[in-house]
Amino acid sequence: MFEGVFTGLSTALMPFNLLMVVLGCFSGTFIGMLPGLGPISAVALMIPITYTLDPSSGIILMAGVYYGAVFGGSTSSILINAPGCASTLVTTFDGYPLAQKNQAGKALALAAYASFCGGTVGAIILIFAAPALASVSLSFQSSDYFALMLLGLTSVAAFSGKGQVIKSMLMTVFGLMIATVGNDVITGAPRYTFGQMDLVDGVSFLLLAMATFALAEVMMTIMRGKMYANSETMQPVALSSMKLSMSEVKEVAPTVARSSVFGFIVGVLPGAGATIASFLAYGLERNLAPLRLRKMFGKGALRGLAAPESANNAASTGSFVPLLTLGIPGSGTTAIMLGALIAYGIQPGPRLYLDHPDIFWSVIISMYFGNLVLLILNLPLIPYISRLLAIPPQILNPLIIFFSIIGVYLVSFNTFDIQMMVFITLMAVGLKMLDFPMAPMLLGFILGGMLEKNLSRALVVSDGSFDFLWNRPLTLSIMCATITILLLPGVISFIKRIGSKGLPGAD
């Protein structure tokens, strides 16, 4: 393992890769700060750039953008009460009230320190957890992989929230359907191409990611009128001192430690991600706090800010565990990174640890540097970076649209891709208006090819019988986990309904 760590360290310490970390953190912070554009959009916007880099540098850049975007989201949550992404929504609960009390600088500093601790704890656990899981997963067969992919796909749906489970499942199926467009990977037969030569290679991952996340998000922001109707109220508040007193540090230290470990564990669960981690950590801290401090939650409690910030960064790091070791993304952002790795010709999963130790370890090591960059470079620059929020939206939005379409065009040099993007964006906007989540679709699309290959292999080996799902203990265990996760939301809501009926006066 230590040999791998040193390989990763030497790759991550290469001046160019360090530059990528810095560049990634900066651009991520900027994009993440823009309301409506979260880490998924930020990473999607970076894909065309990463195609010109080698795999290690490309993934390091994307990882930097990821943390940067989460950090940037926290900044806009604190300064203008507009979370850049869902995972920093909880940050507004106590971050913005602190800013209103003329403690914006302190809130930003605390968010940065808590994020740094969360990310660092996450990176340290990852160093030990990832290789252990990777070595176990070396014994996986096609049936196990198929079961794992089912687990990943169903988890994303199961964790999607109340009333969203069936919609998420539908979107996952829709993603799998899109993945079947183009020549069949096994027989080469054209599927759903309708005689169009441009569809023979299937729908490009980059095109789909850019259209559904970058472009569709901008369109939704424009339609909500957020940046127009409220532009006058969205002026950043003035920053104050960024210093924390010793008593304040002592107060939040246990919170940061608890939330970091907790966030990492939640992040490892496929589909759970940083948003759920931040909500759960906030709830946990509020329940653990003494009554005197509990009353402060929602009114500018330091613990209420530190908990979600450490948890979401640790969860972001944790979501790399299933990606790097099993090849199954734990969140929408890591799903995009999986697509990028596949585009490089690298198959994430247990073999990544053995075949490309430089990539495996450099990504892990660069996470630590990423957190360091955010703390040392980004924090002091926040007053200046936040001025970018003043760019008029009528100028900024067309530029984001332009970068999205030109990023796709510069990879294929085919204007059909831009037209396809327009079509997919309109479809994505329509689906978003109907409250359909996009991440399960992208996950289904990315895993579609692998799922079909492993299913076909497993079925051929078992001579057409589905007994491969329960013949091996490992496959059976994963299938049991899948069914449990799938049924869990329904069972919980059923128990709640029964419980509320039993309580007199309960609504």
Partner 1 sequence: MNLTKDRFGGLLFLLLSVTYGYYAADIPLLPGDKFEVFHAQTLPYWLSGLGVVFSVLLIVLKPVASSTSEPLFKSNVLLMFGLMAFTFLFSVALPWLGFPITTSIFLASSYWMLGERRPKMLVFASVPFALVFWLLLTQVLDVYIAPARLLFW
**How far is 138 from 131, CA to CA, in rounded Å?**
11
Q: Which two three-digit tokens encode residue 41?
A: 């959009």
Query: For residue 194, what are the contacts with CB-CB under 8 A and spacing of at least 6?
Result: none
- For residue 341, the minimal CB distance to partner 1 (Å) is 23
Q: Of the two residues 347 and 409, which places its CB atom closer to partner 1 in the complex?
A: 409
- For residue 483, the minimal CB distance to partner 1 (Å) is 16
Q: Which two three-digit tokens encode residue 447?
A: 């895993």
Q: Which two three-digit tokens encode residue 433?
A: 């208006």
* Among the listed residues 24, 30, 44, 40, the one whose alpha carbon sits nearest the alpha carbon of residue 421: 44
Q: Of the two residues 133 and 459, which places its CB atom closer to partner 1 in the complex?
A: 459
DSSP 8-state assignment for residue 139: T
Helix (H, G, I), strand (E, B) or coil at 353: helix
- For residue 324, the minimal CB distance to partner 1 (Å) is 27
To the nearest 5 percent, what fractions of the chain are helix, strand and coil?
A: 80, 0, 20
- For residue 179, the minimal CB distance to partner 1 (Å) is 9
Q: Of the two residues 223 and 492, which places its CB atom closer to partner 1 in the complex?
A: 223
- For residue 464, the minimal CB distance to partner 1 (Å) is 4
Q: Of the two residues 175 and 350, which places its CB atom closer to partner 1 in the complex?
A: 175
Kind and range of the H or E run holding 190: strand 190-191
**How far is 17 from 366, CA to CA, in rounded Å?**
8
Please, are residues 446 and 342 in contact by the beta-carbon 8 Å criterion?
yes
Q: Which two three-digit tokens encode residue 486?
A: 């799938």
Q: Of the two residues 422 and 487, which places its CB atom closer to partner 1 in the complex?
A: 422
Please, are residues 61 and 18 in contact by the beta-carbon 8 Å criterion?
no
- For residue 245, the minimal CB distance to partner 1 (Å) is 38
Task: Count how many Cα atoms sit within 13 Å of the Cα of residue 326 in the half-sphere of its side chain.
Answer: 29
Q: Of the two residues 131 and 440, which places its CB atom closer to partner 1 in the complex?
A: 440
Residues that bind partner 1 (CB under 8 A): 52, 162-163, 166-167, 169-170, 173-174, 176-177, 180, 184, 186-187, 189-192, 219, 222-225, 228-229, 392-395, 397-399, 401-402, 405-406, 409-410, 413, 415-416, 418-419, 421-422, 425-426, 429, 431, 433-436, 452, 455-456, 459-460, 463-464
Alpha carbon distance, N-terminus to C-terminus of the chain: 55
Q: Of the two residues 237 and 426, which places its CB atom closer to partner 1 in the complex?
A: 426
**How far is 41 from 483, CA to CA, in rounded Å?**
31
Q: Of the two residues 253 and 483, which places its CB atom closer to partner 1 in the complex?
A: 483
- For residue 219, the minimal CB distance to partner 1 (Å) is 5
- For residue 144, the minimal CB distance to partner 1 (Å) is 18
